[in-house]
Chains A and B, each alone.
Chain A
C-alpha cells in the first residue's frame, strides 16, 4: 500500500520540509512509522510489578466470570429467544449509534481541530462531558431534551408525532450520546497529529475546503477514525444507564444485553453470568478482529 515514489515521498511527521507533497497527494495514505521494537529483556521491577498488578486487576474479574459460569446449564440459558433478541438488538443499536457518531462526530472533531473559533475550549469540554457524566444523568438529560415533555421533544411530538423514549431509536440516541465523545476525541487527536500542510497544498491547487477534507484529510486520518469508531461501538454496546433511563426496557424493542443482564441478576444470577459471557465474547471478538484489521500501523 505505502510504496512512496521517490518524487513524492511523504515527509515523516515533524520533518519540517515545506515543499509541496507531490503531484497526487490525494490518494496517498500517509502512515507514520512507529517503532514497534521496544525493550525485550531487562524490564525494571518498579515497572513490571505495577504493570502485572494492573493486568490482574483488569483481567481477573473476567476470569472469575469464566470460572463461575454455569457451563452445564449454559446451552439452555443461551438458546432462549429472549437472549438472541437482546443480543441482536444490542448489535444493531450499537452499530447504528456508531454510524450516527461517525456522521456527526467526524465533522465535529474537524471543527474542533482545524477551526479557531471563540469558545472552542468550552465547546470541547461540553463535547467530552458525556465521558465523565454518569450515564444515568445522561439519560435524565436526554429525557429533559428529547422526552415527550422535553424541551425539544414536545415539539417533535406535537409536529411529527415522534417520541423517542421507549423506542429503538431512543436506544440509538442514548448510545450515540455516550459513545460519540470517544470518536470525537480520537479523531480530533489524530487530526491534530496529522500534518495540515497537505490540506493547505490541496487548497493551493484549487480544491475547496470540503474537497480537501474529503480527499486529503479523511484518508489521512482513516486509522484514527476507525479506532474511534471501534471505541464508540464498544462503548455503545456496553451502554446501560442512559439506555434504561431514556429508552426504558422492553424485550425486542429497547432491551439490550446490558439491560437483560441487569434484570436477570435480580432473580437469576446464573442467567446473568451466562448473558455476561455472551456480551464479553462478542466484544472481545470484535475488538480483537478490528484491531488487527484497522488499528495496527503497517
Chain B
C-alpha cells in the first residue's frame, strides 16, 4: 500500500506544473500505481500459493491450452482444479474458433495442448505434423435449439424453425457448429433461411440471449452454459450431426509433463464429470 500512497503524492505535486504535462504525468503515475498494486497483489497470491503447497507433485511451469470456444466453461473449471492439484503450475487458455486456433498452431503459436471441436480442424494440425501422437476423442457434442426463455414461440422441432416470421440464426458453415447444423438440416430435408450465419457458436447463442433472434441452432453445452437466459429444445435430427472433440499434445510443447498431466485430468473420471455436467456426451 505504501507504494501507491507515494504515487499519489507525486501526482499531487505535478499539479503545479503545466496543464498538458500534468495530465500526462498523472496518467503515468496512475498507471504506475496500478502496476505497483498489481505487482503487490500477484506477489501476495504467489506467496500464498507457495505456503499452501504441500509439495505433492514436481510439475511446474505454464501449460498453454488452445481449446474450442465451446469448452470455455468446463476447461476453465478443470484448469483451476489442475492448478490446485499441482501448485506451481499455471494453465493458460486460449479459447476461440477451432479453425483459428489450428491456424495459430500451424503458424507457430506456442501451445502445449490443442482441444478442437471437430476432427477436421484437428486434422489441420496433425497433417502439418504439429501434434505429438494421435489425437484422442474425449467428448462429443450434440446440437440443440436455443430459444428465448420460456420458449414463447413454442418451438418443439427443427421443422418449427422453418416457419415464417421467426428470426433464426445459424453458425456459418465454415465453422463446425454450422457444418453440423447443415448436416442435420440436410438429413431431415429441411430448408431453413436464417437471418444470419454467425461466425461462431457463441455469437449465434448471444443473438438469442440478447433477444435479437428468436432461436439459434447451437450446441447443448452452450444452451447449458447460458443457464436461464435461453431455453433448450432437443431435436432428434441432431443425432445425425454429433461432433467429436479430439485433444492432442503438441510437438512444440515446452512443458510436456504438465501438458500430459492436464490431458490426463481432462480424460479422468473427474474431468468427465465436469464435462458431462456442462452438457457434453461421452464418446
Interface residues of A (CB under 8 A from B): 143, 147-149, 163, 165-166, 244-245, 247-251, 254-255, 259, 262-269
Q: Which of A165, A266, A267 contacts B212 (CB 8 A)?
A: A165
Q: Which of A163, A254, A265 contacts B196 (CB 8 A)?
A: A254
Q: What is the size category of the interface that chain B forms with chain A?
A: 20 to 34
- Chain B, residue nearest A255 (CB): B197
Interface: B97 (CB within 8 A)? yes
Contacts of B197 in A (CB 8 A): 248-251, 255, 263
Cβ contact within 8 Å between A149 and B212: yes
Sample of 18 further A-B pairs with CB below 8 A, known A166-B213, A265-B99: A147-B210, A147-B212, A163-B212, A166-B195, A244-B198, A244-B199, A244-B203, A245-B203, A248-B195, A248-B198, A248-B207, A249-B199, A250-B195, A250-B196, A263-B197, A266-B174, A266-B175, A267-B174
Given contacts A166-B195, A244-B199, contact A263 B211 (CB under 8 A): no
Residue with the highest number of chain B CB atoms closer than 10 Å, among A148, A166, A249, A266 = A266
Docked Cα-Cα span, A255 to B197, in Å, equals: 9
Summarize A's interface: helix, strand, loop or mixed: loop
Cβ contact within 8 Å between B198 and A249: yes
Docked Cα-Cα span, A251 to B196, in Å, equals: 8
Cβ contact within 8 Å between A249 and B175: no
Docked Cα-Cα span, A267 to B178, in Å, equals: 12
Pairs across A and B, CB under 8 Å, 10 listed: A147-B211, A148-B211, A165-B207, A247-B196, A248-B195, A249-B172, A265-B103, A266-B97, A266-B99, A267-B99
Cβ contact within 8 Å between A149 and B210: yes
Interface: B194 (CB within 8 A)? yes
Contacts of A259 in B (CB 8 A): 199
Contacts of A143 in B (CB 8 A): 210, 212
Cβ contact within 8 Å between B196 and A166: yes
Q: Which of B169, B172, B211, B213 contacts A266 (CB 8 A)?
A: B172
Q: Which of B169, B199, B212 contacts A262 (CB 8 A)?
A: B199
Q: Which 4 pairs between the two chains have the least Cβ-Cβ distance?
A: A248-B196, A266-B174, A149-B211, A166-B195
Interface: B167 (CB within 8 A)? yes
Given contacts A165-B212, A266-B175, contact A248 B169 (CB under 8 A): yes
Docked Cα-Cα span, A262 to B210, in Å, equals: 23
Q: How far is the CB of B185 from chain A (nearest CB, A)?
A: 16
Docked Cα-Cα span, A6 to B229, in Å, equals: 74
Cβ contact within 8 Å between A263 and B196: no
Cβ contact within 8 Å between A148 and B99: no
Q: How far is the CB of A106 from chain B (nearest CB, A)?
A: 29
Cβ contact within 8 Å between A263 and B199: yes
Interface: B187 (CB within 8 A)? no
Cβ contact within 8 Å between A263 and B174: yes
Docked Cα-Cα span, A148 to B97, in Å, equals: 27
